[in-house]
Amino acid sequence: MIEIWSKYKRAILANCVPSSVEANRGVNYWRNSLFATTLIFILPLCFIALIPSLFLITFENKEYITLLHFITIGLMCFIAFVPSVKTATRKLIFSLTVYAFAITLNIFTSPSSGSVLVYFLAACVYSIIIFDNKYAYWWSHLVLFISIFFGFAIAFDLIDFSHNVDMSSVNEWIAVSSNLIFLCYLSSALIPKIFKGIENYISEQQQLKTELEASKKALQVKNEELEQYAYVASHDLQEPLRMVTSFMHKLSSNYGDQLDEKGKKYITFAENGAVRMKQIVLDLLDFSRVNRPSDELELVDLDALLLNYLELREGTIAAASAKINWTEMPTIWTIKPLITTVFHNLLDNGLKYRKKDTAPSIDISAREQNDYWEFAISDNGLGIESQFYDKIFKLFQRLHNSNEYEGTGVGLSIAKRSVEFMGGQIGLHSQVRVGSTFYFTIPKKINERQD
Ligand code: ADP
C-alpha cells in the first residue's frame, strides 16, 4: 500500500515539478511543489466526494451534478498523469476547473451565496500563490467579471436563482460580492509582495553560494599551485645547495692555510648557512608532500611507533635525562607516515623547548570518543603564551631564535597539515614556564574505510 502511494506521489511530482526548476529551488520550485501536493491529496478526495454525489442522483435526481463531478475527476486525472503537458497548462486547467465548480455551485445548488463566495476567495488566493506574480491580478479580474455576470443574470432574470437567498435582488448580490472582490484584489496586491521578498532572498543566497564556490575553487587551484611550487623549488634547490656545501668544504680543506682568521670565519658562516638552508629545503619538501602521501591506510600500532621513537632519539633522550611516559596506546587505521610525523614533531618539540634547569618529562595519552581518537602530548617545558597559539602553526613562524633553539619553524605546520589531511584537528593549552599540552584528533571514519 505504502509502495503504491509513493509511486503515485512520484508520478505526480515528476509531471508537475520540472527538473529545470528543481535544480535551483527558487520560488517557482516551491509553487510547483505546492501545486503537485494539492493534486496528490485532491484526487482521492474527488473520488470520496462521489459518495454524496451519487446520493444526490438517487434521491434528488440531480444527475447533472454527478456528470460535472465525473468531468472534474477526468480533468484532475489528466492534469496529474498525462505526461508532456506544461506545468503552467496543468495549473491553468486546475484553477479554471475550481472557478467553474464555484460558478456551478452558485447557479444550481447553494441556498446562500456566502459559502460559494468563500470558495471563490480560496480559489483566487490559491491561484495567486501557484502562478507567477505577474498573473496575480488576473484571478481577481476573473472574480470581478464573474460577479458582474451574476449581477446581470439577476437583473435580467437570465438564470433561475429561486433557491438562493442572496440572489433575490441585485442590491443584495452587490453587497455580498463587493466584499469578495475587495478581498481578492487585496490578496492580489499583498501575496506577490511576500513572494518577491522570498525570491530576492533566495537569489541573493544563490549568488553568494555561487561566488563562494568560485572562490573556493580558485583557492584550491592557488593552493595546488603553491604546493607544486614549494615542491619543485625545494626539490630543485637541493642540487645547487649540495654544490655550495661541497665547494665550501673543498675551499676550506685545500686553501684553508692560505686564509687568515677572518677568511676562515667567513667560510664557517657560509657552511653553517648552507646546512641551515638544507634543513629548510628538506622541511619544505616534507611540508609540500603532506597533501600527496602515496601511502594507503594501514593498521598502525601506536605503542610500536612510540617505542621506535625512543630508539631513534635514544641519544637525545639520554643526554637530557628525559622521560617519555604513556600507558597503553591503541592500534588504529591511519596513514603511517603522516601519524609518525605528527608524533615525532610534537615529541621533538617537547624535548627541545625545555627549561634549562629541568629534565624534560613528556606524557602521552589517547582517549577514545564516539567518532574519533583524541591524543595529548604534555611537556613540562617553556610553555607558550596564548596569543601565539595560532602563530606557531604557520609556516616558518618561530617564538625562539635559532641560536637559542635550532629549528626552521616548519614542524608544527607539517603536523597541522598532516592531522587536517586525515580529517582531524590540532590545538594546544599551555602555561608559560609550566608546560604545554598539544592535542590532536584522528576521526574514526578514516579508520572504518578499511573495516
Ligand atoms: P621549530 O621547532 O623548527 O621552530 P615548529 O613549527 O615545530 O618549528 O614550532 C614553532 C615554534 O613553536 C617553535 O619555534 C617554538 O617557539 C614553539 N614551540 C613549539 N613547540 C613548543 C613546545 N612544546 N614548547 C614551547 N614552545 C614550542
Atom of ligand 1 nearest to the CA of 398: 14
Q: In which element (H, E) is residue 177 found? A: helix 170-255
Torsion of CA 30, 36, 40, 43, to 10 degrees: 140
Q: What is the pLDDT of residue 450?
A: 44
The closest residue, in CA terms, to atom 7 on ligand 1 is 411
| The CATH number, out of the four listed (3.40.1800.10, 3.10.450.50, 3.30.565.10, 3.40.50.720), of the domain defined by the range 293-447 | 3.30.565.10
Give the residue, by CA position, lying nearest to ligand 1 atom 4.
Answer: 409
Question: Mean per-residue pLDDT for 198-215?
Answer: 91
| Chain centroid offset of residue 430 CA | 34
Ligand 1 residue neighbourhood (C-beta within 6 Å): 345, 349-350, 353, 379, 381-382, 384, 392, 398-400, 407-413, 436
**C-alpha gyration radius of the chain:** 40
What's the whole-model pTM score?
0.58
Give residue limits of the domains in the chain: 2-211, 293-447
Strand partners, 374: 367, 441
Nearest CA residue ID for atom 3, ligand 1: 407
Pocket test of ligand 1: the residue of 346, 353, 390, 419 to mutate, having most ligand atoms within 8 Å of its CB, is 353
Give the span between the Cα atoms of 14 and 29, in whole angstroms.
12
343-383 pLDDT, tens digit per residue, is 999 999 999 999 988 999 999 999 999 999 999 999 999 99
Burial class of residue 263 in the structure, from the number of CB atoms within 10 Å of its CB (0-12 exposed, 13-18 middle, 19+ buried): middle
Give the dihedral of Cα atoms 91, 97, 102, 104; nearest 10 deg: 170
Ligand 1 pocket: which of 290, 349, 389 to mutate (most atoms within 8 A of CB): 349
Q: What is the pLDDT of residues 234-283, one digit of tens each?
A: 778 888 888 999 999 999 899 988 989 999 999 999 998 888 888 888 88
The pLDDT tens digits for 271-313 are 988 888 888 888 888 887 777 666 788 899 999 999 999 999 9
| Phi, psi at 434, each rounded to 5° | -115, -45
Alpha helices in 261-410 (DSSP H): 261-289, 302-312, 314-319, 336-352
**What is the model's pLDDT at position 49?**
84
Burial of residue 305, with CB atoms counted within 10 A of its CB: 0-12 exposed, 13-18 middle, 19 or more buried: middle
> For position 292, what pLDDT does the model report?
67
Question: From the CA of 398, how far away is ligand 1's center (Å)?
Answer: 6
